Structure 1
Amino acid sequence: MEFIKEEIKEEVKEEIEDMSDPEPSRIKHEDTEEETDWLEMKPQKHELDEAEEEQPSIQTNQLYTCSQCGTSFNRKANFSRHMEIHSGKKIFTCDQCGKEFVSFSNLKQHLTAHSTERPHVCSHCGKNFSWLNSLKQHLKIHDGVRDHVCSDCGKGFTTVGQLKQHQRAHTGEKPYYCDQCGKCFREASGLKMHLLRHSGEKPFKCEHCGKGFISSPYLKLHQKVHSDVKPLVCSHCGKSFTRLGNFKLHQKAHEERDHVCCDCGMSFISSDGLKLHQIIHTGEKPFKCSHCDKSFTQSGTLRLHERLHTEKKPHLCIRCGQSYRSLLSLKIHKKKYCKNKTKKHKIKKS
């Protein structure tokens, strides 16, 4: 009996000890595990931070290269914008005239055309420019710098754009396409001028006779007709000319006439002259008057004839104001009647 009592006392004592002891070894072990977990999480977070810091550098070093022109970009957004240039999409619109552009830089450059400010002045010729880069490119003309060299023929150019246009002469590339007739052009300016032929628009008007032209160079050539200045003089016969093309054709008259008609043996300076002559042998008259049934072998003869119907007299004498249907009639008039008159007349703009 006493043995049982002692055993019960021992069990009660152990239970009291168990209740008073909060299992320090287990708590310590659990704390150690939590500390280990926290310590393990801390380096993991540090590794993630390092990965996030390294991620932008990976994007920066990655290059997006255009397969069409070879230009590379660090950012995909810039690359995507660049690809729209090759697609031909014109997403940038001028709010002043409605003209569209494939890139924002082209639009920005265009906007200067609406502004009268041209602060950059050439010290050599006084020409003004809206952009400093335009002035720098212009200065290369005065300095004789042609640092953009063609790899095919060695010819040098002042700008990259001029070189690219020239290289199309070697490659035969004509990327500018007329959607009305299918004709292709090497330069955008060529297509633009060609489209004026379809529209019939002739925005450049002669102040002397009112005749219109599709470009400023054509107008300048025409205006020499109204002037007595003929700077191109033939060294063989002394005949003078206003236009370089006519001067060169005339010089061939003193040399060889290697285009010979197989029907009559008559020779000509150019192949065009021979073709016009051969129509005489065929009897063909392809140029028909729109006012009457008459037809002609040459387009120039048709134009002169149609002026009888329209009463147009585009060739004006700037000395006396008299006008004529043909340039030949004006020349005869000047030589015979208006040789010494100095008073100049200008046609009134309507």
Structure 2
Amino acid sequence: EGYGVFVEVSAHPVLTVGVEEVVEAAGGQAVVTGTLRRDQDTLGQVLTSLAQLHVNGVTVDWTPVLGAVSSGSGGGALVSLPTYAFQRERYWLDAPTVAADATGLGLETLEHSLLGAAVPLAEGGQLFTGRISLETHPWLADHRVLDSVLVPPAAMVELVVRAGDQVGCGRVEELTLEAPLVLPEQGGVQVQVVVEEPDETGLRPVAVYSHLEDATGSDDALWSSHASGLLVAGESAAAGGGVVLEQWPPVGAEVVMSDPEGFYAGLAERGFGYGPAFRGVEAVWRRGEEVFAQVRLPQERVGEVERFGVHPALLDAVVHAVALADFEQQPDGALGSGVARVPFAWSGVRLHASGASVVRVRL
């Protein structure tokens, strides 16, 4: 008949459950409630029932209700409440991190979010410099390990890839992370990437250093070494080839993970506190020895991709899929007994395209 609200007027619900079952069996939706309950305060229960109707969109005439409340000992009045604090939409534009014009200082300005300038060194090689902080790069706060904000290893790779592009080296032959880069809650760190002249084989040594802005002490103690490796002038991106992933998910692949919340909850139990910016793994499949994943950058970060070769949060999420391949997945999506791994060595890294916000991954 088209009715969508059912109220059982009785001293205790007798028909409510039956009405709900009928509605469900008919494939419909309805609001079903009672008025009173046995052993419950009469007026309080009536008000509760009316509230249930109200929050489900049913129009309630509160005038006689408030009159009844006012006549009691507690009194009552209709007041305006603030809007629901956690249900909101932001309309503020996030100001992008823009490097200052360094050409007046004899430097070359880089259009990169982590590296601001480059300068050729008089004795050969090039120096790249930048500044990282939670104020300028707030998304890094979502990458916590054991309650400390760590610059993800993927960001180190991105720094070296960008430096390689500048000196004509299209491949990171190898990169070994020597120490984590911990980001302070206040202030920031200065970052340097040093690329040396090529040796007789064409390999160019590269290293990443950082300096805490408020650090004190001797000059030797101010700079910390975080990564070192080798760059080489590799093949062009067009010569990359690779596996075509047009059929998605791939034929014959079985679902390994379809519950990102359960997956990241399991990582949190192991001390990896990934916030929204780094929770990019959407689904994982397996086909024999192959593992496939779909990784997506959160919408709030999509506007930043043009200032990276590959956004570190996107590449870091790819590494999460690597870790998932070593876990035994439980039915509820939680992680089984396994060891979460942090990447410390990379080899043969080449970037074929930039500006991506979603990627298909084959491991």
State the TM bucket, normalised to the shorter chain: under 0.3
Q: Which is strand-richer, 1 or 2?
A: 2
> Larger relative CO (CA 8 A, sep 6+): 1 or 2?
2
Q: Which has the larger radius of gyration?
A: 1
